[in-house]
Structure formats: C-alpha cells, structure tokens
Structure 1
Amino acid sequence: MENQIAHLETELSRHIWENKYRYSINGSIKDKTIEDTWRRVASAMAKAECQNSVDWEEAFFETLSNFKFLPGGRIIAGAGTERNVTLFNCFVMGVIDDSISSIFDHVKEGALTLQWGGGIGCDFSTLRPKGSLARSTNNISSGPVSFMKIWDAMCDTMLSTGARRGAMMGTLRCDHPDIQSFIDVKKEPGILTNFNLSVLITEDFVNAVNKDEEWLLVFPEKEISGQVDKDAIQNTDSVYRKWPGFKGKVPCRVFGKLKAKKLWAEIMKANYNCAEPGVLFIDRINALNNLKYTEDIFCTNPCGEVPLPPYGACNLGSINLTQFIKRPFTKEAAIDMEGVKETARLAVRMLDNVISISNFPLEKQKIRIYRSRRIGVGITGLADALIMMNKDYGSNQGREMAENIMREISHEAYRSSIELAKTRGSFPDFKAQAYLKRPFIKQLPASIQQGIKKYGIRNSHLLSIAPTGSISLLAGNVSSGLEPIFDYEYSRNVLNPNGSVSHYRVRDFAYRLWVEKYGSANNLPDAFVRARELSPLQHLKMQAVLQRHVDNSISKTIHVPESYSYSSFKNIYKEAYDMKLKGCTTYRTVKNRSAVLSSD
C-alpha cells in the first residue's frame, strides 16, 4: 500500500508520540515533528556502521518514517538522546540464591533495571517453601510468594506515576511446594498488581496429568535443613529434578503430593476467574532453544515473547504489514512480499546496531547480551492486513497467508544475519557444530544452513512476536502483533505523564480505511472478524502456525467472552501444549475487571 500513514493520522497517535516518544530535555523540545523522531533514531542506529553510515541512515529513515518497521518503544524513546537509559525493552534477572542478602541484591538489580526503562522477569523457584528451615541459619522461610510482594512494592515505588507502568514477569515451577499459593495469589484484588504470573510447566507434569498420576511437590535437599511442621512433609524420600541454580539434576526432598489433574484444574480455574496464571512449557522452551548447548532458561520477559537466560535481554521491533498491502479490499488485493523481505533485512541490521549503541543497567546484562546478540524481528497489523486482503483471520486461508508471511520474514532475517556475520563476525557463543544441530536451525532451508556453516551468524535468535501496544497506536491503531482486531470502534484508556488517565474513542486501522474508501460502514466484508467472534481454538491455531517460524516465542492472549463455559475453557492450555506452543495466556472478560480496551 502506498505510504498510507507517513504522518500521525489520529489524535491518539499524536498523544502517544508526544507523551512516550517525543524527545525533549530541560523543557526544550528537540523533536518538532514525528519525522524528527525518526531521523534521531535512524541517525543513532547508523552510528554503529563502519562504512556508508550516511547511506544506511537514509535507508533506516525511509523505513521508519513510512511506518514500515516499528522499533520497540525504548528504542524510539531513547535512541539518539542524552538520557541515561537502555534501548532494551525486556530483561530476565539473575538466579536468586536462597538467602536474604541475595534476595535484596536482586531487588536492587531489579530496581536499577526498571529505573532505566526495562521490564523484568524473575523466577522465584529457587526460594524455599513457606515454613521450611535454612540449612545454615535455621531461619523459617515465608515462601516465594511473600518475597514477591517486596518486588511488587519496589516496582510501585520506582514507577508510581507517569505514562509508563512497571512490567514484571514472575514464574514458579509446577513442582514447587508453594505452587498452589502462587496459583491463587491474585484471587485477592490488589495483590502483585505489577506482575504477570506464569507457571513453569514440565513435560513430566503434563504426562502425569494425562495418566492421572500423583504429582510430587519438591525442593532441593541442599537448601533444606528441616521443617517447622513435620507433618507437612508427607515423606522424606528424595527424587532428582533439574532445578534453577544447579547444573544437572539434583536430589530434592518431597514436601507433598497431590493428583496432577487436581493441580491442573486449580491452574485453569484461577485463570478462568482471574486471567492468571499463564503457562510456560519450560522443557519445550529449552529443548527448542538455539543456545541450549550453552544456557538454561527458567523465565521470560514480562509478556512472554522472549524466553531468556539469567541476565539475558532482547531488543524488539515489528514489521507493520498494513504498509505492504496493494489494492486493499479489492479482488486483486495482495501483499508486497519483496517489500516485506527488504524490510526484514533492514530490521535485522537496525536491531543489531541497537545492541552496539545501547546502554545497560548492569554490566552482567551487557556481557550476556553481547555473547548472544539476541534480537526479535516480529510483525504487527496482521489482522488488518488479512482483512485488507479479504482473508478471514479464523480460516485456513487466513492462517496459510499468515504463515507464508512469517516464513519469508524468518528466512530473510537469517540470511541478513549471515551477511552481517561476514563483516562483523558471529556472536561470541556461536559454535557451528552445536548450533547447526538445534531443531529450529535444522528446519531452515539448506542454503541458509550452508551459509551458517560457512560464514557463521551474527545473532543467536532473530524472531519474536511482541504485543506492540503503544507502537501500534503510534502507527494509526493498526491491529497489535498477531492479535485479531478488538472491535471496529472502541474506547481506549491511556496513561498520561502525571498518572491520570485519558479516554480516547478509536477506530481500527482497516475499518477506518474502509470507511474512507467507501464512505460507509455498511456491508463490511466477511473478513472483518473481531476477537470475540473467534473461538479459542482459532486463536491457538494462528499462534501455532506462526510459532513454527519464530525462534524466540510469541505474546498472544486468547480472548474469551464472560459467557464462555468453564467446561469448554478448561482444555485451552492442554490444546496449546498439544499444538506445540511454548506458552499460553488467556483473558476472559469479566465485569468489574479493569481493562484498557472497552467496546460499547
């Protein structure tokens, strides 16, 4: 499509730019226009170029100013400014040792990372269960959920006002003795409000659910000296488990047991009533990790699209598919695939440059990030693009088109990273023989595998699909990420810099384009499908076909109406596992639950 939004089209787009991304310092406005913002970002990225930096700056600027590629919000807000900030949106923090000094050291590291503008993920599986004794001090633990409240209060204090709220992911293993408390914690309103919660689901647990077996709740023996309530330990046998903070499997004390199906039902009931916790299929995440040979993963960034090792981070950006649709709504509608591929090539280069020009809250983060040079090129505007091509999001035809687009982006991203390796070298943790054996790499075209073998590759991971909330609004309210459109017109709440909330009436991008083109909202094509008109299975199927071509992961929310029965809802996570997803989150609309979006 010919440059539909080379400027800010909506009032909300302008609000987002002025309050989140426009650069001003000491009361002096530096970005007079959105083009000034894109020029600032393009110029900053081009500083990482050793040759032809002026030419690259122009190429970056053209792609950005036409809204073809939307970098992550931290990049737009911070690149080329004098602010002491990171350009990375998301981090996973280090392994928390089970001691007061380690816990508060990690609270401090989390505070510094949030202060610099990064969201954080923390795994709390390493903290002793409530009521247990420390081997060295004999102190009684209050359990991981209690300590999570310290992180939550810290986040409130760090980011108590303004247009940006704190974002944290908290995870706990499904076999941790406090897992039931973790599952139920958000039943009480106002608790852990800065956290997204996800249970780390193992393959053993899924198998136990399928076989209707008992499930053991355990914790590493090394960290436990005794138990205040001896009856709470149902037996003293040890079992071996892979556990965060340890190499290989370690002996774990059995604290209790329950039916695996009962625990699974508790997860699903909490999710049905409270929209949390989500699930992360952690064994699958590690099995499919391109760097399994050198790292273990126990957590993700706050929205789940980037599984990361301790102190890992990823900088993200999204290709705006609405800008590549030719002859929208007509029988000849099509996507400019060559344009998409060209943008994917540039996106890889831009994000790799971001790694080189960014600041970091912690030196540990910088070291980890430079060793892998992870990036995440994704998509946004998928649903709108499908509508403009007359393809139903929930149909086989819609999924086939979406998969074709993502496949092309994936292959082009890998080719671009190989080209960068020729001149810049591979990421330091690259080991050709081990890397080429990884499952995602083995399913790439033979020519790409041969290129990696011959030249190496610049970035360990290249693809991720993020929620793209604010940047999609900046681009004229295109459908976010891979999500279906929420509604044709709706109300949206937006935080202001002073902490107040503004309410905007907005139109979906494709819907607005249809009305402008045809003058009426009557007789909308069948392809105008809204999220609530799709079944959870249709949501999952779209996520599944795209996950095949994404080496990181995908942020996706399965929206279900309030009237959706629990008997139908309870199998959603199981279906997600069977479809080989890496994780899943649902949101069931419930009265009195706060929401950013609302239909009439």
Structure 2
Amino acid sequence: MTFKVNYVIKRDGRKVPFDVERIRRAIKAAMLDVGYYDEKALEKAVSYVLKIIEERYSDENPPHVEEIQDIVELSLVKYGLYQVAKGYILYRKERENIRREKMLLLGKDYVDDVDKKLSLNAIRLLVNRYLQKGPDGKLLEDPKGMFTRVAALVVIPDILYDKRIFNKSGGEKIHEKEEFNPDEWDGKVGLGDEFKWNKYHLERMKSLYDELNSAGKMRISWSEFWNMLISGEFNDHIEDFRKYFSLMAELRFLPNSPTLFNAGTRLSQLSACFVLDMEDSLDSIMKAAVEASKIFQSGGGIGINYSKLRPEGDIVMSTGGRSSGPVSFMRIIDVITDVVKQGGRRRGANMGILEVWHPDILKFIECKSKPGKYENFNISVMITEEFWQYYEKNEPYPLINPRNGEVWGTINPRELFRRIAEMAWKTGDPGVLFADNINRRNILREALGDIKSTNPCGEEPLYPHESCNLGSINLYYYIDYNEKGAHFNWDEFSKDIKLATKFLDNIIDVNKFPVKEIEEKTKMSRKIGLGVMGLADTLYALGIPYNSEEGFSFMRRIAETLTYYAMEESAELAQERGPFPLFEKSGYVKGDMPVEGFYHREWWTLDWQSLAEKVRNGIRNAEVTTIAPTGSISMIADVSSGIEPQFALVYEKKVTAGEFFYVDEELKRQLKRRGMYNDSLMKKIADNGGSLQGLDIDEDLKRVFLVAYDIPWWDHVRAEAEIAKWICAAVSKTINMPSWVTVEDVEKAYLFAYKLGAKGVTIYRDGSKAAQVLVTPSQRKGEYVMSIENRTLDIMKELGIEMPSMGRQKKEVKMVLPTPVVKNNVEKCPECGSDRLIYEEDCVKCLDCGWTACVIS
C-alpha cells in the first residue's frame, strides 16, 4: 500500500521518513502491556490511524509525532480498546516526564535516538562518570557524541589495514618518518560529514602508521596515505564506523570503562587490566611502583604476584639487615593507589597474589583482617597442584624461601586450607586461584611458562606486563518476542560476536599504553577479553530458572558460541592482518585450543574440529574471551550484571529528585502483561529484599525470577564452572553465601570449584564486607526457601565432597561472629554519599548512583 504521507516531524523539529511499523509496534506494545493482544483488533486500529493521517496530512503538511500519538489514542477508543488506550496514555505521560528529565540532565532541548534508547538511570550514570566535560564542568558531548568519539577511534585500524596500502607479508620499503602535527587537522578531516577526527584520534592514527611502516608493511609513505585520506579515497570505511557506532549505541555491546572514558582524549589509554612483575630486589620493587602509578593515572588496575620476594626475617646480604617480607611491600602499592586517582576519576584497584608455598602465607592470608588495612587490594592465594598432593595425604607441607629454594619450615596443609576458608568466611578475603586449572589449557605455556598472576578481579590471568582490553555483549538484546513467547536469536548473537571481536582487536592498535614494556608484551600475544552481560534477564525472558539443568545448559551454549565465533573471527583477521607474533611458539600450531570444552567432544554443539584446523593456519589473538564484571556498563545497558543473578528485582532508588522503585525490566514487562504491575506490589517486593519468594504471587514467576540469595551457593559455583568450560581466560563470579553458612561450607566451595575446573573462586558471605541493605527470605529464615531440581548435589557427591549445610546450624558456631569489614574502607558511596552499598561481581557497588570500586566495569 502506498501512502501520500512520507514524512513526520520529530519533537526536535527534524523531518524524518514516515514509518508505518512504528505505529504498529506502539499499539502492539500497549496491548501486551495490559495483557491483551488481538491481531485483528491491532490491524483495525492501525488501518484507522493511517486513514486519518492520509485525510489530514500530506508531504507539504506532514504530521507531528505528537499528532500521530493523538490519533492512535482516538483509534484505540473507537474500537473499544479502553484499557489499551488508558495504558497508552499513561505510557505517553511517563515518556514525556522521562524526556524532560533527560533533557535537563544533558542540558539539551531535545532527545535524539541514542538518548531514547538509554534509560534515565543510564543517562544519570553517563553524565556523572563518562561524558567529557570542560574545565567549567559543563558537558562537551552527549551519549551519541561519546559513542561517535569511540567509534571514530576504532575504525582507524580498518583504514590502515586496507589492502590498498597494507601488505600483511611485509617486505615493503620502510618509508622515511615524516613530521605530522595533529593540532593543524583537529576537527577538520573525517570519513565524509558523519564525524571529524580530533587531534588525539589523529595522533593514534599516525602512531599506528609508523608502527606498521617500521615493520615494512606499508606500501606507501605517510604523506601519500594522508593525501588519499583527505581526498576521500577511504570513505568506504564509513560503513565500518557505522557498525561500531551502532553496536554500542544500540546497546548490543559495550567496551570496558577506560575505553569509553579515554578513546579520542589526551590519555587515550583504553585497557582496564594490567599485570606487573616484582623481583626480589629494591630496584624491581621501585620499578613496579613507578609503573603502577602510571597505570593508575591512566585509568587501569594491576595484579602482582609477590611470591618472588624473600620472607620476613630473611637476611639481606647487601646490608646485613633483615627483610620485612612481601606483605610490607604491598603497602607501597597501597599508598600509591591512595594518592594517584585512576585517570583523575577514581582510585585504583589491585590484586595481590601469594603462592601457597611461601613462608609468609599466613601473614598474607590475615593482612586484611583489620579494617583499613590494604583497602585498595583484593588478595588471592594461588594454590599449586603440588599442594593438593600434600592435602590429600595430610602430610606436612614444605614452605620454601624463594631466595634460595630452601625449605623454610612446614605447615599442616589442611590447617592452612582451613585458615584460608576462615578468613574468607570472616572478611571475604582472600580468594583462591588454582594454578593447575589456569595453566592446563594455557596456549603459551611452552613458550612463556606458567601464568602466575591475574588482573584485579581475577578473570584475566596474564603474564607480567601483559594487559587486556575487555568488552561485553548484552545477551538480553537478542531476545525476540512474539505472541508465542520469547526466543533467543542465535544468528544475530553470532554476527555481533564477530564484530565485537574485531572492535577489541582494533583497540590494541590504537591504545596508548602507559608503559613501553606493557605495549610490547601486549602486542606479542594480542589477548582480548570478550564477555557477556544480561544473562539473568535473558533467562527470565526465556522462562528458565538460573540454576536449573536447562539454565546450566543455556550458559554452556552461550559461552561455547561466544568463544567459537570470536575465535573464528580472530582466525579470519589473521589471514588479513597476520597472527599474533608468538603464534608459531604457541600450542595452536599443534592443534591445541585454549578452552577445556574442546577436549570433551560430548559437550560440542558446534564444529570445533574444523575451527581448530582453521586456527592452525593463524589466529590474531592468543585468547579471545573472558567473563569480566560489568557493573557500570550493564547499568548503561540497563541489564543484569555479567553472568550474575540479579541482586534484587525491585529496590527503592534514591536520586536528587527523590525516590522511586528500580524494577527489573523483564519482571516489569511480564507483570504488565498479567495486569499485576502496581506500586503496592513493587513495595512488597522491595521490602522482601528484592525477592519474590514467600510472597502471594504466581508460582511460575517465583520459580523463574530468582535473585542471588535465592540460589544455593553450590549452584553459584556450578554456574561459574559451566561457563568456564568454554572461556579462554577465566570468569568473574561472586559465590554468594548467606550469613548462616559455616567455615566448612567455604572449604567445600573451594574444593567443588577446583574439581569442576574453575580457575579461581571468590566467596562473599552476607555481612562479611559492605553493610547488607537488602535481606531476602533465604537470608532471614536461615535456609534456602526455593528448591530448583538439578544435579549439582549429586555432582558434589560424585567428586567426593561432603554435603553442604542446608540451613541454620543447630550447634553453636565456634568462631565469634565478626564485625563486618567494609570493603575498600567504603562506608558511603564516594560519588553520591549513599550508604546503600552491595557486594556484587567481587566489587562494592552503589545502588543509588551506580558507582563501583571495580576498574573494569
């Protein structure tokens, strides 16, 4: 059908093409919102709206969007759809209020298409933390400008790797280095009129050209390239820019926070994770301190393994004095972290690691037992394969002086393991890392030895001076709804995995690394970490309980698909641009793969054999996937964090303008469809700790909409392990435990995670760190109140692990209940002053403004 009205006037005055489908979608959404959907009634209403528009308007006199909405209301009433009309009117009013507040926050008199996609929460967070501001504190960009700034940087490698000017094989004449002043071209050149590069974009472009030229891979000189660029010969790459922009602006994927902060700015440091080395010498310790300060200043966090440092009391030959031990040298990094803010925005974060054989292991385990000590550190004990042999036999375990390899003393391995569990039960620290699981499928093990360090949140095991760029795909975006229900769009998910992989690989090339050695080591392996967020909301939409066998199966398939298509894209990039430099020394050339799942054909749902053959010919990135915390970026996307269950479905959120209920979007959608959504019910859920359990509400909703403390801790462990089967690096996941669990439960959690193949584990027992502000029925009653049938406890038995505590213990707990230790010494949010802090994804997070202590998310 052809309409004579081809345009509509938007609220900002723009004239845009008229889209019939927008009207159909709006009426359909209003029907679904009130739990009434009738396709015939829908088509009648749409036809009537179009008829009125045709009668009243033309291309010379196009309708305003508000006029169209008035006609929609009239149409709904005409056909007796009074409840739908009421819902539509209320929706219009709500949207108008939201638009007004968004404009106020952004200092604009309109909202564009990007602003519309973002929730009010997301806009507040972006204004507070992400959008560029001038010296006067006024915004220099809006969300669309931020995504444009990032995409304009990410597209640069696509241009410089263009076959017209780039030769993957090398052997080209190395052109004389030419002077170039980016300031002269600031804001003057781009790919057509869609954007212009600023001087910081251009500085990174010249830097990448010089790097490729020095390797003999550029066919032409800089001046020849520049003339081609400004004459428009590379304008076809505008499609690449648009793809990267849409990937972010449509909230399908977001990179780690430093990329959003720093792309196209003076800092231009885009990585979140770094690992440094510390040898047993003062020079090395001071070198690490200087490098740490540069990383903190540029917006990153670090991990250091302190095990090379001699123990406290050991002799120092050069002075005849005695060593103060590794724990004391952690204080240097701790103080630097206090003094140097990350990128001028927040304090840094650290991972301190000590291997289990070190003589100072007990001092290390207890170093955070008092509030205010090592407050900028997460700490983890790295447990070696050898330790488990002593543990099983219960034989004295030797503690080794790293200075000379001599036995310093012995300790009972089970008592040591118990002490780790006690401190974690009491304070939340330390976590544990499993060295053999980390290195079992380490593709660079033969070339570089064992990995012994991780980034601050533990999901990225790295060699010294490696860094990693992370980003997460929003799973919830791929839920498609129709009248039959929801389904997951695997085809679109797979396509976006490939695009996001290319995005992250490009980031390596345009990153301004804070330390030269880090740049060199990072580019030798080119590791990237693509992950996911929104898992809990996705499961809600699909009607799958998080800890059901169906839920675990879905998690495995998500992780398998993520790694498969990321590796496939990386292999294709290697054919275009070349593999990572250490490729020939890696296990890939022998057919090895960096994921456990590859070695279990019974787990496959994709053709891994053919992929392995493709990868043997080259792969661009040594590793491609990791599951990182997504606290802030998942708030931008308005979805659940990472792979965590929702912490609360509903809670009262405090903002400058007052208080309102934050409601999980999928819960809101399903309640509206059932005609159950109202403030009274939201208050009941909020007062119930954000959980549905124990409330008078449909049983199928209670079974699916589970929050973190509704789920037994052993199922948290299993969820991490199921996903880890198909992830190259590791997984950031908090094992939530209610306050009534025992120290023995913590030990069992460690053993279960280890035997399932997890690379590390962090437990959080309710009340042991930040003050708990949301109390669910499982926490309050001292037992889990929702039972989902699965095989987890059977698996524990098969692995020889004793049954966990099933509820509040009748016998008296021997340990004295501790005073809660506040994580990172944070009692109130440093950004908004709220005391409503929770612990999620191994990070403190503010419920009100979204601030998090995590450097990645």
TM-score, length-scaled by structure 2: 0.62
Q: 2:709 aligns with which of 529, 532, 546?
A: 532
C-alpha change, 1:34 and 1:196, in structure 2 (3 Å) is same
Larger RCO of the pair (alpha carbons < 8 Å, separation 6+): 1
Question: 1:399 corresponds to which residue?
Answer: 552
Question: 2:519 corresponds to which residue?
Answer: 366
Matched AA of 1:452: V
Matched AA of 1:128: R
Q: Distance in 1 between matches of 2:300 and 2:659?
A: 26
Q: 1:563 aligns with which of 731, 740, 758?
A: 740
Q: How does 1:383-394 map to 2 (within 5 A)?
A: 383-394=536-547
Q: Distance in 2 between matches of 1:468 and 1:110?
A: 23
Kindly indicate whether residue 338 of structure 2 is the aligned counterpart of residue 156 of structure 1.
yes
Question: 2:693 corresponds to which residue?
Answer: none
Conservation of the 8 A alpha-carbon contact between 1:337 and 1:405: no
Conservation of the 8 A alpha-carbon contact between 1:372 and 1:428: yes
Kindly indicate whether residue 189 of structure 2 is the aligned counterpart of residue 12 of structure 1.
no
C-alpha deviation, 1:15, in angstroms: 2.3
Q: What RMSD over aligned residues (CA atoms) do the two structures have, in Å?
A: 2.6
C-alpha deviation, 1:507, in angstroms: 3.0
Conservation of the 8 A alpha-carbon contact between 2:275 and 2:302: yes
C-alpha change, 1:512 and 1:10, in structure 2 (3 Å) is farther
C-alpha deviation, 1:174, in angstroms: 0.2
Matched AA of 1:337: W
Instruction: Quote the sequence identity (%).
Output: 34
- Aligned residue for 1:460, secondary structure, equals coil
- Cα deviation digits, residues 73-92 of structure 1 (max 9, x gap): 111111122x2241001100
Kindly indicate whether residue 568 of structure 2 is the aligned counterpart of residue 415 of structure 1.
yes
C-alpha change, 1:549 and 1:8, in structure 2 (3 Å) is same
C-alpha deviation, 1:199, in angstroms: 0.3
Q: How many residues align?
A: 559
Question: Normalized per residue, which structure has more strand?
Answer: 1
Conservation of the 8 A alpha-carbon contact between 1:390 and 1:525: no
- Aligned residue for 1:67, secondary structure, equals coil
Question: 2:474 corresponds to which residue?
Answer: 320
Matched AA of 2:468: C
Conservation of the 8 A alpha-carbon contact between 2:534 and 2:634: yes
Question: 1:357 corresponds to which residue?
Answer: 510
C-alpha change, 1:77 and 1:165, in structure 2 (3 Å) is same
C-alpha deviation, 1:567, in angstroms: 3.2
C-alpha change, 1:512 and 1:571, in structure 2 (3 Å) is same
- Cα deviation digits, residues 540-581 of structure 1 (max 9, x gap): 111111111101111111011112233333311011101011
- Aligned residue for 1:105, secondary structure, equals helix
Q: Distance in 1 between matches of 2:243 and 2:343?
A: 37
C-alpha deviation, 1:449, in angstroms: 1.2
C-alpha deviation, 1:9, in angstroms: 4.4
Question: 2:664 corresponds to which residue?
Answer: 508
Q: 1:480 aligns with which of 603, 616, 641?
A: 641
Q: 1:123 aligns with which of 290, 305, 309?
A: 305
- Cα deviation digits, residues 4-44 of structure 1 (max 9, x gap): 99546444322221122112343485654312211221111
- Aligned residue for 2:352, secondary structure, equals strand
C-alpha change, 1:183 and 1:137, in structure 2 (3 Å) is same
- Aligned residue for 1:586, secondary structure, equals strand
Q: Distance in 2 between matches of 1:483 and 1:37?
A: 27
Matched AA of 2:623: H
Question: 1:468 corresponds to which residue?
Answer: 630
C-alpha deviation, 1:287, in angstroms: 2.5
Kindly indicate whether residue 737 of structure 2 is the aligned counterpart of residue 574 of structure 1.
no
Q: Distance in 2 between matches of 1:540 and 1:552?
A: 17
C-alpha change, 1:509 and 1:305, in structure 2 (3 Å) is farther
Matched AA of 1:57: F
C-alpha deviation, 1:186, in angstroms: 1.1
Q: Distance in 2 between matches of 1:269 and 1:287?
A: 28
Q: 1:301 aligns with which of 455, 468, 480?
A: 455
Question: 1:178 corresponds to which residue?
Answer: 360
Question: 1:43 corresponds to which residue?
Answer: 152
Conservation of the 8 A alpha-carbon contact between 1:8 and 1:14: no
- Aligned residue for 2:406, secondary structure, equals strand
Conservation of the 8 A alpha-carbon contact between 2:297 and 2:343: no
Q: Distance in 2 between matches of 1:513 and 1:151?
A: 47
Q: Distance in 2 between matches of 1:418 and 1:452?
A: 6
Kindly indicate whether residue 608 of structure 2 is the aligned counterpart of residue 445 of structure 1.
yes
- Aligned residue for 1:570, secondary structure, equals helix
Kindly indicate whether residue 719 of structure 2 is the aligned counterpart of residue 542 of structure 1.
yes
- Cα deviation digits, residues 402-452 of structure 1 (max 9, x gap): 111221111111110011111100010101773244353654711111112
Matched AA of 2:663: R
C-alpha deviation, 1:283, in angstroms: 2.5
- Cα deviation digits, residues 166-210 of structure 1 (max 9, x gap): 111000010000000000111111100000000010011122112
- Cα deviation digits, residues 456-495 of structure 1 (max 9, x gap): 111110000001111011111x11111111011236799x
C-alpha deviation, 1:139, in angstroms: 2.3
Q: Distance in 1 between matches of 2:729 and 2:328?
A: 31
Question: 1:261 corresponds to which residue?
Answer: 414
TM-score, length-scaled by structure 1: 0.88
C-alpha deviation, 1:266, in angstroms: 0.3
C-alpha change, 1:504 and 1:266, in structure 2 (3 Å) is farther
Unaligned 5+ runs, structure 2: 1-24, 30-112, 163-235, 600-606, 682-696, 772-819, 824-836, 840-846, 849-857
Kindly indicate whether residue 533 of structure 2 is the aligned counterpart of residue 380 of structure 1.
yes
Q: Distance in 2 between matches of 1:135 and 1:65?
A: 59
C-alpha deviation, 1:221, in angstroms: 4.5
Q: Distance in 1 between matches of 2:122 and 2:758?
A: 33
Matched AA of 1:89: A
Conservation of the 8 A alpha-carbon contact between 1:381 and 1:481: yes
Q: Distance in 1 between matches of 2:660 and 2:581?
A: 47
C-alpha deviation, 1:116, in angstroms: 0.6
- Cα deviation digits, residues 92-116 of structure 1 (max 9, x gap): 012x121222212211111111111
Conservation of the 8 A alpha-carbon contact between 1:488 and 1:508: yes
Question: 2:275 corresponds to which residue?
Answer: 92
Which structure has the larger Rg over C-alpha atoms?
Answer: 2
Matched AA of 1:569: V
- Cα deviation digits, residues 143-185 of structure 1 (max 9, x gap): 1111111111110011299752311100001000000000011
Unaligned 5+ runs, structure 1: 223-251, 497-501
- Aligned residue for 1:338, secondary structure, equals helix
Matched AA of 1:484: P
Q: How does 1:254-293 map to 2 (within 5 A)?
A: 254-293=407-446
Q: Distance in 2 between matches of 1:331 and 1:181?
A: 59
Mean CA deviation greater in 149-158 or 429-438: 429-438
Q: Distance in 2 between matches of 1:516 and 1:71?
A: 32
Question: 1:33 corresponds to which residue?
Answer: 142
- Cα deviation digits, residues 215-271 of structure 1 (max 9, x gap): 11111343xxxxxxxxxxxxxxxxxxxxxxxxxxxxx11111111000000000000
Kindly indicate whether residue 252 of structure 2 is the aligned counterpart of residue 68 of structure 1.
yes
Matched AA of 1:530: V
Q: Distance in 1 between matches of 2:428 and 2:250?
A: 37
C-alpha change, 1:9 and 1:125, in structure 2 (3 Å) is same
Conservation of the 8 A alpha-carbon contact between 1:74 and 1:86: yes
